[in-house]
Amino acid sequence: MREITNQTSEALAVLINYRIFLVNKYGMNLNSAENLTCMMGKILRETHTHTPDHNILNQYVIWMKEHGFSHSYISNVCLAIERFTEFNNNPIKFGGGKKPKLNPKDTLSEAEIAIILNSCSNFREKALVSILAYSGIRNDELCNLKVEDYLKETQQLKIVNGKGRKGRIVNISGKCCLDIDNYLNNYSRQITDYLFTTLRNNYQICDKTVRRIIIQK
């Protein structure tokens, strides 16, 4: 993952030991430990230090709040920071704060979407994440999409068997269409194929695969 691999040798060593600490101290599963480690890797890379002090970390959290990051994302980053400072024997504790009411149609800010999309490593990942971010469809609906369900001319997706087994049409942005077009231009698909399939056997992807890709972002 970029947040871990694109580090100085000192930061990389710190992150590897931090991940081990999360697993051994808190009994986290590997995915959860990897997620918090990636968050801290991003912070170390953006603050240009592998030993951030409390002031740097507090300023980073303030920056996230000022730039419209969601409450849940900030809470996860704060948890990563708390565990990281505990790992360094210099613990910091953030107040929980009251969770704001979220508009279910807009749970991610544009800043967050841009950051997540920029972290994608290929056209396939970017198209998948872009659809989820801009359309609001569920993971299982994404898995069931076929190439023919992408209505490029009208910038829409056709959901054939959605919640309650009902079909519907979902609008998407021009940016999302561009991401889908780039993906289809680089990954050969037939019109009746599933839009996203596994890389090895070309099987229909499942919800678990989608969640794994999102967790890595």
Q: What DSSP string runs through 168-193?
A: EEEE--HHHHHHHHHHHHHS---TTS
C-alpha span between 110 and 154 (Å, rounded): 23
Reduce the DSSP state of residue 216 to 3 states and report it.
Answer: coil
pLDDT in tens, the chain (217 residues): 444 556 788 889 999 999 999 999 988 888 788 888 988 998 998 999 999 999 999 999 998 888 877 777 788 889 999 999 999 999 999 876 555 554 444 456 666 777 778 888 899 999 999 998 888 888 889 999 999 999 988 889 999 876 666 778 888 888 899 999 999 999 988 999 999 998 888 889 888 888 887 766 5
Contact 160, 204 (CB under 8 A): no
Q: What is the pTM of this model?
A: 0.49
